[in-house]
Amino acid sequence: MSEPAPGATRWIPLESNPDVLNSWCSKAGLITSEFEYSDIYGLDEDLLALVPQPVKAVILLLPLTDAIERKTQEEIAKIRREGQHHVDSSIIWIKQTIGNACGTMALLHAIINTNVPVIPDSPIAKFIIECRTLTPEARSHLLETTTLFSEIHSEVASAGQTAAPDANAKVDLHFTCFVKAPDPANPSVRRLIELDGRRDGPLDRGLCTDLLKDVARVVKEHYVDTAASVQFSMLALAPPPEF
């Protein structure tokens, strides 16, 4: 898939680290004493069972291998030709136009499209209110022009466990987000929705009966089995673990 247009704004990439993502969320306005990110250690059921419930969203960091890029382009082309299952209008999707901003995009998609608690008048609360009435392109422009998140992104990206790469560096890793939403044809049924700012819009991944297990299945079938790579990590937005 193509990078944002030449000359576009570029940010420092975020590290896939619960401490980094939770720092971002706390600064943005998520009440992290109630929901935070924790690592998902594997796709097997016994490892998924270690994740606190309820899981509200899952963020995946995936390698942009040639095989994954080809498969993604094939999915995009198929939807352009044939369409897909209608995605509920409550889903808010933002087009990614800022280079290396996929971490912030995934975090925004997760918080905006779930009912996790946020602090009134916080950056994320203000952004949610503005986004509701905007088109995906206008949301992108808002993200480009506001300092609400660029400053947060820059601060936490520089505070990870590893040295942050330069904003202009080519990074072959990408964040995407999974949430669930009502089926417009049957509101009592839930659908699994993937939110990736580099696609054309929200991607319906099928029925959703258990968010964590369904995401694990999709990640295995559509990404892990395709990639021939071990550069994957997953994090769940869920209540803090009890010790």
Catalytic residue among 109, 153, 174, 222: 174
Q: Are 16 and 235 in contact (CB under 8 A)?
A: yes
Q: What are phi and psi of 16, to 5 degrees?
A: -80, 85
Provide the β-strand partners of residue 30. 118
Read off the DSSP letter of residue 2: P
Instruction: Produce one character per residue of 85-104: b if its CB has 16 or more CB atoms within 10 Å, e if not.
Output: eebbeebbbbbbbbbbbbbb
Catalytic residue among 102, 131, 177, 208: 102
Q: How far is CA 54 from the centre of its chain?
A: 17
Q: What are phi and psi of 111, to 5 degrees?
A: -70, -45
Q: How far apart are the first and last CA of the chain?
A: 42
CA distances for 49 relative to 40, 61, 225, angstroms:
10, 20, 22
The phi-psi region of residue 121 (left if phi > 0; otherwise alpha if psi is between -120 and 50; otherwise beta) is left
The percent of the chain in helix, strand and coil, each rounded to the nearest 5, is 35, 20, 45
174 is catalytic: yes
Q: Collapsing DSSP states into helix, strand and coil, what is residue 30?
A: strand
Which residues are known to be catalytic?
102, 174
